[in-house]
Structure 1
Amino acid sequence: MRAFVVSDYAHPSKIPLTQNAPAPSAGLNYFDILQAQGKYQHQPPQPFVLGSELAGRIAEGSPIPDGCPFRAGDRVFGAAQGTFAERVAVNWDALLPLPENMSYDQGAGLFVTWPTSYEALVGRAEVKPGEWVLVTASAGGVGIAAVQLAKALGAKVIAAAGSQEKLDISVKYGGADHGVNYSTEGWQKEVLKLTGGKGVDVIYDPVGLIRDSLKCIAWKGRAIVVGFAAGQIEKLALNLVLLKNISIVGIHWGAYTKIEPSRVPVVWKELLDLFASGRAKPVVYSETYPLERLADGLAALEQRKTWGKVIVHVRDASSGPKAKL
């Protein structure tokens, strides 16, 4: 079985594709790049297979336990350690049925990004119709999901990204109302102008731009800390939190399974209803990568060249059903 096995920590570009990895195997989002180098907060024991999200069919002969609702041949999406391999061992409770109106490419990037963005906006920020929402890194995986979801909730959305190309993507595929380039000095003034001087009610930030974004937050605004893709964990002066009466809240979706498991099926039902209605739709990057070119896909993600969700085809179309990330 072919798989990307991490036996020694290294940049993904230095990890070869192993031809005889054991099957089944266990464990590409940005954190996969960190995990390959031993820099992520969750590090499986070596050797381990890289990869975290998947979509595909349950294989014939799978050891399906009692109580599992799935059967061989079912189309599913979900998460597991080891998805960059031709076979993956998955806990069935980390799988969901892939909607009939979705391709494997669309399903492969659902499990982490979409519930993160949904719970951030609905459960943590409690976005209301008519509010202004600023989404940073708006063309990325979680960002473009947040843009679509905020629109579905009735908000007015300002997409913020580092290039005009990514702002165009945010408008075309996400439905953003406006776009602001945050690589331009003083971009916050443009946000204030768009909101009539009021500022945004909600900031959704997966990059590490909370401190800069607070310059254009409204009275009683809510800033959601989603992640630190820029690489630096921010330190904030709390005087502005006091003066503007704002809230800063975090979202760690991965912890819900352990700490608040009752919330997980609620979020997924509401998300799947949104997908079925057509009000939200996963966005897949224009170039997909075969398993042999996984390192190229990770490099493009690392260098901020991509938008939407980057997909790896574990099998080509001629070799049977495809499992993808």
Structure 2
Amino acid sequence: MNPLPLPAAPAAEARLAGLDLLASSVLLVDADARVRYANPAAENLLDASLKSLSRQKLTELFANGEELAALCRQALAHKWADLRQDLTLLRPGREPLHVHLTVSATLEAEVLLELRENVQQLKLDREERILDHSQANKELIRNLAHEIKNPLGGIRGAAQLLELELAARDLGALSEYTQVVIKEADRLQTLVDRLLAPHRRPHIVGDVNIHEVCERVRSLVLAEFPHGLAIRRDYDASLPEFRGDKEQLIQAVLNIVHNAAQALAGRIGQGDAEIVLRTRVARQVTLAKVRYGLALDLHIIDNGPGIAPEIRDRIFYPLVSGREGGSGLGLTLAQTFVQQHLGVIECESQPGLTDFRILLPLP
């Protein structure tokens, strides 16, 4: 049983009160690497109360706590005024914490640990997971589609032969059943062709102006939804052209915008549906572990109901759809086309605002 935290002296209470106001997470530990104090931000970050954290050793809080404790000992030995470094804190049974750590000794022979979540590392980890999932999905889709394609041809051919046999025996009335088989086989064939499309079609590279891509998509979607939907432009005219497959990028953006328009059905009926196409330049962007000085930053924003929380983390998986009757392939294909351009698609969604962000490296 851990002892209760020692009561703080009035001067200490005043000192700690200031730390309570910080947005960054702060731990105060003693010479034995035991936690004496944690501010509210640290309680939120570690998902634990001050009472449960107090008097625990860093080695009890983190699987690699000895590394942190060693830094504290070095700080107390005045090996440096303060140390700043990125660190991954391992917690048994929980997700690792990627933090930017600042370690400094106090005049009271204690050590102040300031922890800030490393957003860039979290982003890199998320992108790596997406790429791994995407690669696995592509292999699965390719293999599954080929396995389905062969028997489909046999089923359709057998149904056609059966239809001819029925006609020869004057049983043409039964041909409606063979027609059902043929039509369903054709429908599945179309689905398989869509699954295989990104892997069959050659990558045709040329100069691409992203605003021409956006304008093409805008005209196509407005032709289908002429009333009740506004597609607003917010372009950065300084964006340079880049090398890419224009048709693939049109298809990728079209799939996202078309999904947004379908999700806006309710607002289109009310006449206040809106999609924003916003282009900007992003600087010093890391995509698939490669650092680029410049990147195209395209946002597709709608004011629809948002993506259901239960599928939000799986929207780029094949055959996952939030719409009744949807094939669940539009975003999968969009992601494949963007990744073939060394880019990435990100998504943030809440009721009233869904933002798909396409990042592509620029020369």
TM-score per shorter chain, which class?
Answer: under 0.3
Higher helix share: 2
Which structure is higher in strand share? 2
TM-score normalized with structure 1 length: 0.25
Q: What TM-score, normalized by structure 2, do the two folds share?
A: 0.23
